A and B are shown apart, each in its own frame.
Chain A
């Protein structure tokens, strides 16, 4: 019965969010961004390891993907948060992390690690597909000019692969924004947990979680606009290569940059 739905709660959560909510929103965003960044770096490393001549590196890379794609994220989050210090015997996850101007809780730190490591396993496949999409002749030409395969990868193959990698990377980040909600289970007050706190006090789950859904939608919508812009800029490259890829990436991000500098 819709009559029982208390609209004023929803409006309040959407139009007059409180300070705790703003903090929760900010946590969701920075955790997603940092975890994605970590995921891209790990994915790149794992993809390069997979292409290595040393079998040990190839096996490690494969095992990494197998394990982190094959087990639930929530289990990985618990494992990192509760298990890292215990199993490794050193303090991997401190109670508080302080980077001078930037502070975060141990849970946020664990969350970034866990989500980033999980994401890396998926990014490995995306990076690999991007590298595989580049014609073998590019590597041969680079090597025939005296480049080592590392240099050729960095200067010739990866810049071209980036074009193939960016669209699926955008999808991954969209997913990441929403997956951060699982960090509520290790006590991190992000968007989902913030709503949970309110609902446990008021027993109005539908109102509060509708508001949460709305805010996730806002985040993913903003992201998809940015992503569309990036892809449009990159897509133009296939037709005309008059602007270097690097400059096109800058151009695609320019409105975000301008906003951030304000």
Chain B
């Protein structure tokens, strides 16, 4: 699959797909993100770990502007997400252009959020047809390919209600991939699954990572972080407290808080 952006879209720094600079976010009086900065390079898989309430889910929701941010900036492929610059200040963009920006960023949710009134195939073809204006035939052909890729070629005509959690999440991955995004966000994709089916979802994600997809994965699956991540980022209290390679993290973490956290869940 060739991501759409690779066909000559302008970029400041060709290797950086996602750049977050000093992102702040508050819900009322609670400051959830207190200045998060992160660069994700093309083909990189970054796992974001940390205790609940550390702001990791909020952060990736900001990356496709499902949440507004209060300060800082987020760029995908050099394009500002959710805002445009006006007289040196950032003002929120129009709904239409935010929607357009989101087509470059795929998202997989903890609770799948498949469309229950549509078959697996229709779930995958919906956005390419309705948003990108693809023909039904072309979208269906590509959707079949994607469903085969996640091991569900035989479930095309099945409604989500008849699929297991693991199967639903794999359809959700196919649905996001159908937009040929430059970046994929995963929000705890296996947290709502039975333990015996997390493996099938994780292996699909691992394969995706090996195929060179750029991914940010919020997860508690340390096994996945160890195998598939190029970089692990530890968040706590709304800031990134440590980042490094999986080897660094799981062998010799430097931060005291990281040691504590890992000792609890490993």
Contact-residue bracket for chain A: 20 to 34
A146 pairs with B117, CB closer than 8 A: no
Return the contact of A148 from the options B99, B105, B161, B175 (Cβ within 8 A): B99
B103 pairs with A138, CB closer than 8 A: no
B99 pairs with A156, CB closer than 8 A: no
Confirm or deny: A244 has a beta carbon within 8 angstroms of a beta carbon on chain B. Answer: yes
* Contacts A146-B131, A147-B131, A156-B115 given; does A241 touch B126 at CB 8 Å: no
Interface of A is mostly: helix
Confirm or deny: A21 has a beta carbon within 8 angstroms of a beta carbon on chain B. Answer: no
Binary contact track B56-77/A, C-beta < 8 Å → 1, others 0: 0000000010100000000000
B131 pairs with A241, CB closer than 8 A: no
Confirm or deny: B85 has a beta carbon within 8 angstroms of a beta carbon on chain A. Answer: no
* Contacts A147-B131, A151-B131 given; does A244 touch B113 at CB 8 Å: no
- In whole angstroms, how far apart are the Cα atoms of A69 and B161 in the complex? 39
With a CB–CB cut-off of 8 A, which chain A residues contact B179?
A: 145-146
Binary contact track B83-122/A, C-beta < 8 Å → 1, others 0: 0000000000001100110110111010101111100000
Binary contact track A138-174/B, C-beta < 8 Å → 1, others 0: 1011111111110100011001100000000000000
With a CB–CB cut-off of 8 A, which chain B residues contact A240?
A: 161-162
The total of chain B residues at the interface (CB under 8 A) is 31
* Contacts A147-B127, A242-B159 given; does A159 touch B117 at CB 8 Å: yes
B102 pairs with A160, CB closer than 8 A: no
With a CB–CB cut-off of 8 A, which chain B residues contact A156?
A: 115, 126
Confirm or deny: B176 has a beta carbon within 8 angstroms of a beta carbon on chain A. Answer: yes
- In whole angstroms, how far apart are the Cα atoms of A140 and B96 in the complex? 15
- Minimum CB–CB distance from A225 to chain B (whole Å) comes to 26
Confirm or deny: A137 has a beta carbon within 8 angstroms of a beta carbon on chain B. Answer: yes
B66's nearest neighbour on chain A, judged by CB, is A140
A145 pairs with B95, CB closer than 8 A: no
A140 pairs with B115, CB closer than 8 A: no
With a CB–CB cut-off of 8 A, which chain A residues contact B102?
A: 143-146
B116 pairs with A160, CB closer than 8 A: yes
B127 pairs with A145, CB closer than 8 A: yes
- Minimum CB–CB distance from B146 to chain A (whole Å) comes to 14
Give the contacts of B108-151 with A (CB-CB under 8 A): 109, 111, 113-117, 126-127, 130-132
- Minimum CB–CB distance from B205 to chain A (whole Å) comes to 17
- Minimum CB–CB distance from A84 to chain B (whole Å) comes to 37
- Minimum CB–CB distance from B219 to chain A (whole Å) comes to 18
Give the contacts of A58-75 with B (CB-CB under 8 A): none
B130 pairs with A147, CB closer than 8 A: yes
With a CB–CB cut-off of 8 A, which chain B residues contact A18?
A: none
Give the contacts of B176-223 with A (CB-CB under 8 A): 176, 179
Return the contact of B130 from the options A141, A151, A159, A244 (Cβ within 8 A): A151
With a CB–CB cut-off of 8 A, which chain B residues contact A245?
A: 117
* Contacts A146-B131, A148-B99 given; does A141 touch B115 at CB 8 Å: yes
With a CB–CB cut-off of 8 A, which chain A residues contact B117?
A: 159-160, 241, 244-245
- In whole angstroms, how far apart are the Cα atoms of A151 and B100 in the complex? 13
With a CB–CB cut-off of 8 A, which chain A residues contact B111?
A: 137
B96 pairs with A144, CB closer than 8 A: no
Binary contact track B149-170/A, C-beta < 8 Å → 1, others 0: 0000000000111100000000
- Minimum CB–CB distance from B217 to chain A (whole Å) comes to 16
Give the contacts of A238-260 with B (CB-CB under 8 A): 240-242, 244-245
Binary contact track B234-251/A, C-beta < 8 Å → 1, others 0: 000000000000000000
With a CB–CB cut-off of 8 A, which chain B residues contact A244?
A: 117
Binary contact track A29-55/B, C-beta < 8 Å → 1, others 0: 000000000000000000000000000
- Using CB atoms and an 8 Å cutoff, list the residues of chain B in contact with chain A: 64, 66, 95-96, 99-100, 102-103, 105-107, 109, 111, 113-117, 126-127, 130-132, 159-162, 172, 175-176, 179
- Using CB atoms and an 8 Å cutoff, list the residues of chain A in contact with chain B: 135, 137-138, 140-149, 151, 155-156, 159-160, 240-242, 244-245
Q: Can you give 18 A-B contacts (C-beta < 8 A)? A: A137-B109, A138-B113, A138-B115, A141-B113, A141-B172, A144-B102, A145-B126, A145-B175, A146-B100, A146-B127, A147-B130, A156-B115, A159-B117, A240-B161, A240-B162, A241-B160, A241-B162, A242-B162
